[in-house]
Amino acid sequence: MKDEYQDLVDEISALLGAPATLENRDFRLIAFGAHDSDGDGEELVLDPVRTRSILTRQSTSAVRSWFEGFGIARATGPVRIPAAPDAGVFRGRICLPVRYRGIVQGYVWLLDQEGPDAEAAGPGPQALAAAMEVAQRIGVLLAQEAKAGADLSREFLAVLTAGRGWQQDMAVAALRLALGAAGEGPHTVVCVAPWAGEIPQSVPGAAAVCVVPAQEGEAGGRLAALVRMRGTDALAPALTALGRLLPRAAESPGGAAGAGTGGPRAAPSAGGRPPAGPATSARAPGMNAGVSDPVRALGELPAAWAQACAAARAATAQPRFGPVAQWSRIGPYRMLAALPAGPADDPAVRTLLSPAHRELARTAEVFLDCAGQAGRAAAVLGVHRQTLYYRLGKVEQLTGLDLDEGEDRLLLHMALKASRLHR
């Protein structure tokens, strides 16, 4: 299908007499076309934004917000965007929205003419109308590709839920056959939980999606997405998919962001690029996501799914991980999430974990998180050190544990962290 995109982009380049690039709605580069000049000697100058898009195959979230501020996600026809040198946009742009049944699927970008008469010197209405017809054909292809992931839900679900042995071997073989070339690794698996809706019709970047039904004790089902990696960063392609599933997902350490709807256009910063907006999140209450480590073989997907689920649970249990947590970064929760389901019920900590002693439990957790350093713990809690010692004494009375003993501390710390997974 990549060749089809390339052919259509080249067709637009020829129609408009300018090099074009095609990006999906999350601003990831799909194809770009070259255009030979008419021999007038004019050199094509690429600005930093366009160069970065071609070399890294994606745009920064700040650049996306800048262009979306011109209403391209809502436009049904060409949109002209002026140059903004302070933002690294040295040349104006013409954006052709790529839509299918009213839903934006991506964008075709062209460098506009320069000077005060740029609009008059640029492509005329008839050429732009012809290019929009080609963009509509691209929209059909993008929509079909996105829908294919949802159509593989049965095969993907079978791999995640099949037992060991021949059942799993058959499920993996069926998924491999259905994926075709898209089955080549590496992949990451994404878990979004809880999930109460239907399977999304399109998830950008996902080769397959399915909904795993809720198990006993779960608040809802879980949505799984199989995301094919392009490069070494496991989080960036996962966040492309999560941009649809968790709108306005917060910026992550991986340097990528979820898809946004775009807000009012902001002026570029003096630093040379558009300003980044605040890391806000409009996801559904209680909904978080986990991302597995990359796997190369489809037979490893069940293990990757377990990782993604554990990371999603950790994101819910510990807000500092959310809304998107990577399994490799959740520390002790990698082991705690593998424990049998159900709240921690060790007799030593049972009373401490009751609602009546919530403040004492928090005090003990902060103290242990601070490696037993009383000064640090008191500062985090905002209490006097003597108040901290008094509370810790009460903890020892309730539990019968000695906080000067390493194994007693370990038991209490594990119980406190595990209890977060079941709140």
Q: Are residues 301 and 389 in the same domain?
A: no
The pLDDT tens digits for 312-353 are 988 888 888 878 999 999 988 888 877 765 556 788 888 998
CATH number reported for the structural domain that contains residue 415 in this entry: 1.10.10.2840
The verdict on residue 348 lying in a domain is no
167 and 301 housed in the same domain: yes
β-strands 221-228, 29-32 pairing: unpaired
Same domain, 214 and 114: no
Residues 234 and 302 in one domain: yes
In a domain, 268, yes or no: no
Please give the pLDDT value at position 17. Answer: 87
Specify the pLDDT at position 59.
Answer: 60
Q: How many residues does the structure list for the chain?
A: 423
Same domain, 74 and 123: yes
Tell whether 141 and 184 lie within a shared domain. Answer: no
Same domain, 14 and 119: yes
- Whether 360 and 403 have beta carbons less than 8 Å apart is answered as no
Task: Say if residue 134 is in the same domain as residue 185.
Answer: no
Contact 243, 260 (CB under 8 A): yes
Give me the pLDDT at residue 124, please: 86
Same domain for 172 and 209, yes or no, is yes
Q: What is the DSSP string of 201-212?
A: S--TTEEEEEEE
Which range marks the domain in which residue 211 is found?
152-262+276-336
How many domains in the chain? 3
Parts of the chain with a pLDDT under 70: 1-2, 34-61, 87-88, 114-121, 146-150, 201-202, 216-217, 219, 231-232, 234, 244, 247-285, 340-344, 422-423
pLDDT for res 274 = 33
290 assigned to some structural domain:
yes
Question: How high is the pLDDT of residue 24?
Answer: 84
Whole-model pTM?
0.56
For residue 214, the model assigns a pLDDT of 80
Give the position of tokens 């008094």. Answer: 390
Question: Whose CA is closest to 309, among 203, 228, 214, 231?
Answer: 214
